[in-house]
């Protein structure tokens, strides 16, 4: 079945748009804060052979693509409510399997903690849950640098080349001995610069570890073997406090779900099968 865009909204509130492929039980995918559902299109095409795959479009990426500023009160909770609205618009009001990459993982985690009854299983690839850091000691240099970058952003920011460079370097994309601006991905990163606006919400988001301990659903936690230290630390804390977890490592950095897609799909399909 070809992908189709669902633009309807529930009677009240906001809703993420969705791209739907395949038939069967629903599998919901949320992409990263700057790549969105496009980066997961190859994954969806393979998973749709056995599942109804729903790729949700965050409001952050939607607004940036439409040239609109985000609301001044934009938050992770705003995206979480939009996720609920998007699922409601599709009639997915029961429990579903959910995967979230990076910022999509943070949104998925917030939605899952607010609505555990709507989660069958949860898979998280390096969600930037900075609210988990700090209680176990001082933040390391990489965490402080990323938080400083995020706090310099905002819903209506004009994103500079320097901010794009700092953000990408903080994610581990800066090669030693040469400029990141020579990276072939640099023109794409500049084109997508407005998608950084919503990431200011990451630094502002707060939650309570006790909510993790009461989440009685299976969670797969994925980490890149060469990812930056703060993402590994966050994943370690999630694994410590969530009651039912399975961990796996993928070759590569923060984008390992994309760069090591076949290995990811092998691990994720095994995780889903074990829930049957």
Given the DSSP bridges, would you call strands 52-57 and 26-30 parallel, antiparallel or unpaired? parallel
Q: Any residues with CB less than 8 A from the CB of 208 and at least 6 apart, and which?
A: none
Q: Which of 174, 197, 220 is the last residue of a domain?
A: 197
The answer to whether residue 3 scores a pLDDT higher than 50 is no
Q: Are 169 and 44 in contact (CB under 8 A)?
A: no
203 and 151 in contact (C-beta within 8 Å)?
yes
Distance CA 8, CA 13 (A): 12
Mean pLDDT of the chain: 93
Find the mean pLDDT for residues 121-128.
Answer: 98
The answer to whether residues 169 and 149 touch, using CB atoms and an 8 Å cutoff, is: no
pLDDT digits (tens, 9 = 90+) for 172-192: 999 888 899 999 999 999 999
DSSP 18: E
Q: Verify that 64 and 147 share a domain, yes or no.
A: no
Instruction: List, in sequence order, every residue forming a beta bridge with 219; answer none if it has no partner.
Output: 122, 245
Q: How many domains does the chain have?
A: 2
pLDDT of 6 strictly over 60: no
pLDDT digit string, tens, across residues 203-248? 999 999 999 999 999 999 999 999 999 999 999 999 999 999 999 9
User: Same domain, yes or no, for 48 and 169?
Assistant: no
Q: What Å distances lie between residue 114 and 30, 64, 67, 107, CA to CA?
A: 17, 26, 30, 11
Neighbour count for residue 71 (Cβ, 10 Å)? 13
Owning domain of residue 158 = 141-197
pLDDT at 158: 95
Residue 266 and residue 60: Cα distance in Å, rounded?
A: 30
C-alpha distances in angstroms, 103 versus 61, 79, 125, 175, 200? 11, 10, 9, 23, 11
User: Is residue 82 over pLDDT 50?
Assistant: yes
Q: Say what the pLDDT of residue 240 is.
A: 97
pLDDT of residue 11: 38
Phi, psi of 121 (to 5 degrees): -150, 160
Q: Give first-to-last CA distance, the chain, whole Å.
A: 24
Q: Are residues 54 and 85 in the same domain?
A: yes
- Tell whether 118 and 217 lie within a shared domain: yes
In a shared domain, residues 184 and 209: no
Global model pTM greater than 0.75: yes
Q: Are residues 118 and 225 in the same domain?
A: yes
Give the CATH number, domain containing residue 107: 3.40.50.1820
* Edge-first strand listing for the sheet containing 119-125: 4-6, 17-21, 52-57, 26-30, 96-101, 119-125, 219-224, 245-250
- For 91: left if phi > 0, alpha if psi spans -120 to 50, otherwise beta; the answer is left
Radius of gyration for the alpha carbons in the chain, expressed in angstroms and rounded:
18
Domain boundary among 159, 181, 197: 197
Q: Are residues 163 and 31 in the same domain?
A: no
Residues 39 and 80 in one domain: yes
Q: Which of 197, 214, 238 is the last residue of a domain?
A: 197
Residues 26 and 123 in one domain: yes
How far is the C-alpha of 264 from the C-alpha of 217, rounded, in Å?
20
Q: Give yes or no: residues 126 and 216 share one domain.
A: yes
Structure tokens at 13: 């509130």
CA angle 142, 138, 170 (to 5 degrees): 10
Phi then psi for residue 251, to 5 deg, are -65, 125
Q: Are 172 and 217 within one domain? A: no
When pLDDT is cut at 50, 70 and 90, the band that residue 276 belongs to is low
Same domain for 209 and 130: yes
- Residues recorded for the chain: 276
Mean pLDDT, rounded, for 41-56: 97
Q: How far apart are CA 123 and CA 272, in angstroms?
A: 10
């Amino acid at each position: 079945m070809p992908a189709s865009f669902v633009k309807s909204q529930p009677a009240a509130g906001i809703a993420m748009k969705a791209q739907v492929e395949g038939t069967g039980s629903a599998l919901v995918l949320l992409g990263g804060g700057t790549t969105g559902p496009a980066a997961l299109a190859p994954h969806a095409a393979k998973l749709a052979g056995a599942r109804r795959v729903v790729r949700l479009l965050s409001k952050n990426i939607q607004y940036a693509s439409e040239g609109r500023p985000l609301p001044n009160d934009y938050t992770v909770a705003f995206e979480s409510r939009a996720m609920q609205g998007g699922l409601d618009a599709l009639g997915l009001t029961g429990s579903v399997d959910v995967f979230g990459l990076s910022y999509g993982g943070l949104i998925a985690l917030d939605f899952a903690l607010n609505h555990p009854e709507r989660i069958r299983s949860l898979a998280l690839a390096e969600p930037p849950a900075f609210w988990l850091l700090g209680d176990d000691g001082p933040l390391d240099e990489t965490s402080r640098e990323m938080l400083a970058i995020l706090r310099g952003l905002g819903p209506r920011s004009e994103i500079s080349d320097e901010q794009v460079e700092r953000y990408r370097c903080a994610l581990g994309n800066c090669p030693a001995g040469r400029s990141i601006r020579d990276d072939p991905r640099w023109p794409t990163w500049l084109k997508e610069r407005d998608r950084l606006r919503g990431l200011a919400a990451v630094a502002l988001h707060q939650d309570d570890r006790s909510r993790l301990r009461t989440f009685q659903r299976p969670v797969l936690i994925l980490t890149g073997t060469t990812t930056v230290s703060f993402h590994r630390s966050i994943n370690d804390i999630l694994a410590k406090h969530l009651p039912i977890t399975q961990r796996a490592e993928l070759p590569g950095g923060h984008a390992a779900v994309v760069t090591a897609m076949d290995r990811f799909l092998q691990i994720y399909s095994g995780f889903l099968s074990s829930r049957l």
